Amino acid sequence: MMEQLIPQSQLLPADSPAADWCNDADSCNAFWPGTGDFHGVRAAINRRGGIEMDRRSRVADAISGQYERLAMAAPHALEEFRSGAEVISVGHQLQAGGGPAYFHYKILSALRWSRKLRASGTPSIVVFWMASEDHDFEEISETNGARGDSFRWNPSTYKPTTPVGMIPWDFKAEASWNAWCQRQGVSPGVSPVKAVTLADRMRGWLLDWFPDDDVLLIDGNDVQLKEMVQFLWKSEWNGQGIKGSLKESNAAFSSRWGEAPLQPRDNNLFVLDANGLRTRADRWSTDQQKQGKGDEAWKTLRPEQNSPNAALRPLYQEWLLQSAAFVGGPSEVAYWLSLGKSFVHHRISQPALLLRDGALVIDERASHAVEWIQWNPLKGWWTGEVARTYWVDLELNRLGEVAGPFDAWSKALVAYAEGIPGDAVPTTRAALSRMEQELQQVRKKWRKIWRQQHSDQCALVEEVFDTWLTIKGKPQERGLSALV
């Protein structure tokens, strides 16, 4: 089957933030400057001006230290980064096993844009931001394979407020991962020789998955990096953070698109304690006051104990990276749009916002079903039942069209009744209504008979959609791993 290219923007809900950004970026410039295309990347570079090289060098030192601590060789991209190459940034939660396929597609999208920038004569690399401080374990604990076989990470010791990157990845987890990979027929990668954290294991996976692509990895949960952006932390503690700018953006966002994706807080930080637990800054402050430590207890925190929430993290990331562009999914594009005024508030250069690419893998079995029902993603993400019903109706209609002749016959009967005195017309309409209901019941019986006579094909269509093309009525890339 030939590849069919469909612009990702055509698959977005109409009038959604990401759709408007892709199709009419000028109308979104009150939220974010530029456009979501190559011209937008060039414009973002021009807006930013030159890269602040001392900052770039210090960030490069921190990244180098992260590789050295794990005895991993840093990619050549690190030296390009240090030398001032443009950055196409991308990031994600640390999904155990990689999670849904769009995790990989985001990185592949960033690589495509970086190569395009290189081809134009501008040195460029991809930097993957490891969002290791998120603490929603349920969101990152599972990777789904083919035939309903899922890898599920069940660490023996962790607390709900522990940043996922700090959760130990032990030999039991590695054995479970290897067993799943063997069942799925995929490579597990190089196993660590000792127990590590999820963040460390993710670094190894990414090196295995993109061995020749020179992707530079950065973990934001880093002492050196957090020391560099103390102005961000202090502004939140002093009441001069992004609450006001985000609140202002949210008002305009809600007026145009509905509920805003990020809610402003008085303080958009979490606090990491000595045990690695992550507590919202306002709750931490309340607890400190109860202990009689006053309103300025935050001044005793070490820089690395400050942990940005979802609203503050993009600012932390982009101040460090000075990116030309950021690649994200539809929801990320939406919440970055809402952060435009917050970037301006802190005078942080705004990269171009690029919507990631998507993909749909159609194997041999799926190709039969797709051909039978003439389906593509533009028709929607159908469940197996919907796809099966559509196919049966399609086949029945090939035997001859019923609805049209019935409608024509109904109109003829009504026209005939109009020439008869009395209540002939309402009587005729009532009779036709009963006939239409009977016809619907007959069509159901036809479908049932057809399904029985073509049970193998019906089963194939339903299975292909529910287990491969559209998992539970959602895009394949949100249900299955890219590894399988």
**295 domain-assigned:** no
Q: Are residues 323 and 373 in the same domain?
A: no
Look at residues 324, 355, 386 and tell me which one is the last residue of a structural domain: 355
In sequence order, the 6+-apart residues with CB closer than 8 A to the CB of 203 are 66, 70, 72, 130, 217, 219
For residue range 115-145, what is the model confidence (pLDDT) as tens digits?
A: 999 999 999 999 999 999 987 888 899 999 9
pLDDT value at 399 more than 80? no
Residue 444's domain spans which residues? Answer: 364-479
Question: Number of folded domains in the chain?
Answer: 2
**470 domain-assigned:** yes
The helix or strand, by DSSP H or E, that contains position 46, with its residue range, turns out to be: helix 38-48
Q: Are residues 344 and 471 in the same domain?
A: no
For residue range 161-172, what is the model confidence (pLDDT) as tens digits?
A: 889 999 999 999
CA dist., res. 227 & res. 219, Å (int): 14
Q: Are residues 316 and 412 in the same domain?
A: no
Q: Are residues 382 and 334 in the same domain?
A: no
Q: Are residues 216 and 321 in the same domain?
A: yes
Q: Are residues 20 and 134 in the same domain?
A: yes
**239 domain-assigned:** no
**59 domain-assigned:** yes
Q: Are residues 335 and 373 in the same domain?
A: no
Look at residues 355, 384, 419 and tell me which one is the last residue of a structural domain: 355
pLDDT value at 3 more than 70? no
For residue 65, give the amino acid letter.
G
Other CB atoms within a 10 A radius of the CB of residue 250 amount to: 18
CA dist., res. 253 & res. 166, Å (int): 35
344-382 burial string, b = 16+ CB within 10 Å, else e? Answer: ebbebbbbbbbbbbbbbebeeebeebbebbebebeeebb
pTM here?
0.90
CA dist., res. 330 & res. 13, Å (int): 10
CA dist., res. 12 & res. 254, Å (int): 19
Q: How far is CA 266 from CA 234, 270, 291, 296, 343, in A?
A: 13, 12, 21, 15, 17
39-50 burial string, b = 16+ CB within 10 Å, else e? Answer: ebbbbbbeebee
**449 domain-assigned:** yes
CA dist., res. 334 & res. 261, Å (int): 7
Q: Are residues 324 and 368 in the same domain?
A: no
- What tokens were used for 465? 């959609």
Q: How far is CA 388 from CA 146, 172, 357, 371, in A?
A: 20, 42, 29, 13
CA dist., res. 26 & res. 15, Å (int): 14
pLDDT score for 274: 80
Among residues 212, 220, 217, the alpha carbon closest in space to that of 318 is found at 220
Q: Are residues 326 and 197 in the same domain?
A: yes
pLDDT value at 404 more than 80? no
**317 domain-assigned:** yes
Report how far Cα 146 is from the mean position of its chain's Cα atoms. Answer: 20
Q: Are residues 207 and 330 in the same domain?
A: yes
Look at residues 293, 323, 355 and tell me which one is the last residue of a structural domain: 355
Q: Are residues 391 and 347 in the same domain?
A: no
pLDDT over 90, % of the chain: 76
Q: Are residues 347 and 426 in the same domain?
A: no
For residue range 333-381, what is the model confidence (pLDDT) as tens digits?
A: 999 999 999 999 999 999 999 999 999 999 999 999 999 999 999 999 9
Question: Within 260-383, where are the H helices?
Answer: 281-290, 313-321, 330-337, 340-345, 364-373
Residue 370 near residue 3 (C-beta atoms within 8 A): no
Among residues 193, 225, 230, the alpha carbon closest in space to that of 72 is found at 193
59-87 burial string, b = 16+ CB within 10 Å, else e? Answer: bbebbeebbeeeeeebbebbebbbeebbb
For residue range 270-328, what is the model confidence (pLDDT) as tens digits?
A: 999 887 789 999 999 999 988 888 888 999 999 999 999 999 999 999 999 999 999 99
Say if residue 185 is exposed, middle or buried (CB neighbours under 10 Å; 0-12, 13-18, 19+): exposed
pLDDT score for 403: 62
pLDDT score for 407: 77
- What tokens were used for 239? 């009441």
- What tokens were used for 14? 């109409």
Question: Where residue 228 sits, what CATH number does that domain have?
Answer: 3.40.50
